[in-house]
Chain A
Amino acid sequence: MIGWRSTWSIYTRELMRFLRTAFQSVLAPVLTTSLYFIVFGAAIGGRMPDLGGVDYGAFIIPGLLMLTLLGETTSNSSFGIYMPRFTGTIYELLSAPVGVAETLIGFVGAAMTKSLILAAIILLTARLFVDYSIAHPLLAVLYIMLVAAAFSLFGFILGIWADNFEKLGIIPMLFLTPLTFLGGTFYSIDMLPKPWDTIALANPIVYLVSGLRWTFYGSSDVNIWVSFGITLGFLAACTAVIAYIFKTGWRLRA
């Protein structure tokens, strides 16, 4: 049984929080993406050969999108649950007749929505700098939603695990950003010398970037189904962890 009214309340309130800071939330990624496009797309890209028949400026779009998506989704979601814990307002959620389903659909749904809005803005920004077309638009949207869902859940776990602000920031900074940079955002894996092309495949982000690139241009470093599978697996793992957290009340209930 899911309390849809409770779910809706959580969802709309989280979105409201986002809109309250919409200016920063939108301006930062737009600015960052623009800078990347100016530096990599225009300045460097002009001297780069096409990759797999795709112009370099267009080639980096899915990777850049993934870079912003992973960072923003994780931090949005982790802050969404960390802040109420930090300020104490979480008492209300814990004392309400809501369980894991309402909480997740509310918080994670809102984080996903924000991510989709961001993705749209980034794609529009990219349009100002390069010309591109998306081969499988529906699959692209589906894939972005899946990744957003998975990393919203991941951020949620992070926000419950962290007991201070440093911890909240450290995972994205130490793991997410470097792995995304190394994950084939700016290059194709087979441009790497041996054995680095094989080692690179141990980086899970490679599959995400590659998967999104496939939905854009129909070609990629790894098989699209492997990418989908890994994304779904990560989603399932995060869901299981959260179900366990709610069952035991870890870091939520004293």
Chain B
Amino acid sequence: MSEAILELDGLSKVYPGGLKALDDVNLTIRKGEIFALLGPNGAGKTTLIGAVCGLVRPTSGTIRAFGHDLATDWRKARARIGLVPQELSTDMFEPVQRAVAYSRGLFGLAPDPARIEEILRSLSLWDKKDERIMALSGGMKRRVLIAKALAHEPDLLFLDEPTAGVDVELRKGMWAIIDQMRAKGVTVILTTHYIEEAEEMADRVGIIRKGQLIMVDEKEAMMARLGRTEAHISLASPLSELPPALAQYPIELEEGGTSLCYRGGDGTGRGKAEVADITKALIGSGIDYKGIDVRESSLEDIFVSLLGEEEEQPA
């Protein structure tokens, strides 16, 4: 396991109104990983980022980044952290290149036009460098914010809902940008409520809800632990009961016997293999079918089931 780059220890935040937005969060982020913080709106994702980046004052707990305690050594830590906020907040009248150069200076680095050019090119913003930010599309504004966050060459980058409200193509573009970060060894913490995004990008996923970090695990491990295969086999003619050959499988008849439903496996692909076996058994038993619909459960399903379990537990 590589070194810890960020350590949250018992981090809590109670807003002045009394709302507990973070509740005893413990989390260690390792160097170079892409970590997705997944949770519904209002879960506390932005608050968590804010606490690390200096926008929110924690009520209790400690935050260490690069070994520096943020309560005391915030200058050293902040110099190495970049933040792309959830809202598209930029000085609309400023030209792109100047805005990015400003960010670099603000973080205490000497001007480096070549470096700024490289950043703008990597984000396909170079031909817009002299445009005022207000003249850009939403997707480009988001990239300007990323360029600003990268201008001081941070080792740790926060992306708060980087693809909220952008279309599929732009979302793919964002994934490509995160891949670039990964290649450069930048540690990325992103928040999202698009499960697809966490699934596509992250090495590890943390699920947060009502300020509590419910679960943190490697993406694959989480899938293996909680993943399911679900298959629906439409039959050529209805069955009144399950044939004995299928008794060993987690399967049931539905829709008045016109369809078989399989739910099993564990997210490692075992389910798919079983579905294949079931089709062979069906043919062996002389049962004809018209179609098969197989679906691997996504993080979304995991998420929903996790939250469901939580909900069922008495308070």
Contact = CB atoms under 8 A, between A and B. Distances in A.
4 A-B pairs closest in CB distance: A9-B105, A88-B89, A95-B53, A97-B78
A94 B106 CA distance: 11
A87 B89 contact: yes
A95 B55 contact: yes
Given A20-B93, A254-B15, A91 B55 contact: yes
Interface string A1-31: 1010110111001001100100000000000
A6 B105 contact: yes
B83 interface: yes
Contacts of A97: 74-76, 78-79, 107-108
A94 B78 CA distance: 10
Contacts of A8: 105
A160 to B, nearest CB: 15
Nearest to B84: A91
Contacts of B98: 16
26 contacts: A3-B75, A5-B105, A5-B110, A6-B107, A9-B106, A13-B102, A17-B93, A20-B93, A89-B90, A89-B91, A94-B54, A94-B55, A95-B54, A95-B81, A97-B75, A97-B79, A97-B107, A98-B106, A98-B108, A99-B75, A253-B54, A253-B55, A253-B57, A254-B47, A254-B50, A254-B56
A8 B57 CA distance: 27
A249 interface: yes
Interface residues of A, number: 26
Interface of B: 15, 47, 50, 53-57, 74-76, 78-79, 81, 83, 85, 87, 89-93, 98, 102-103, 105-110, 148
A173 interface: no
Contact of B109 (A5, A87, A253): A5
Nearest to A21: B93
A93 interface: yes
A17 B102 CA distance: 13
Interface in A83-135: 87-89, 91-99
Given A6-B105, A253-B54, 9 more contacts: A5-B105, A8-B105, A9-B106, A13-B102, A89-B90, A95-B55, A96-B108, A98-B106, A254-B15
A155 to B, nearest CB: 19
Nearest to A93: B106
Interface secondary structure of A, over-half rule: helix
Nearest to A249: B57
Contacts of A6: 105-108
Contacts of A13: 102
Contacts of A249: 57
Contact of B148 (A5, A92, A99): A92
Contact of A3 (B15, B50, B103, B108): B108
A172 B46 CA distance: 36
Contacts of B91: 87, 89
Contacts of A95: 53-55, 78, 81, 83
Given A95-B55, A97-B78, A88 B105 contact: no
A249 B105 CA distance: 23
Given A87-B91, A89-B90, A96-B78, A254 B57 contact: yes
Contacts of B76: 97
A126 B159 CA distance: 54
B89 A89 contact: yes
Contacts of A254: 15, 47, 50, 55-57
Nearest to A254: B56
B87 A88 contact: yes
A1 B79 CA distance: 14
B142 to A, nearest CB: 14
| Residue among A17, A20, A98 with most chain B CB within 10 A | A98
B106 A253 contact: no
A5 B81 CA distance: 17
A17 B94 CA distance: 9
A202 B51 CA distance: 46
Contacts of A5: 105, 108-110
B73 to A, nearest CB: 10
Nearest to A91: B85
Nearest to B15: A254
B55 A10 contact: no
Contacts of B87: 88
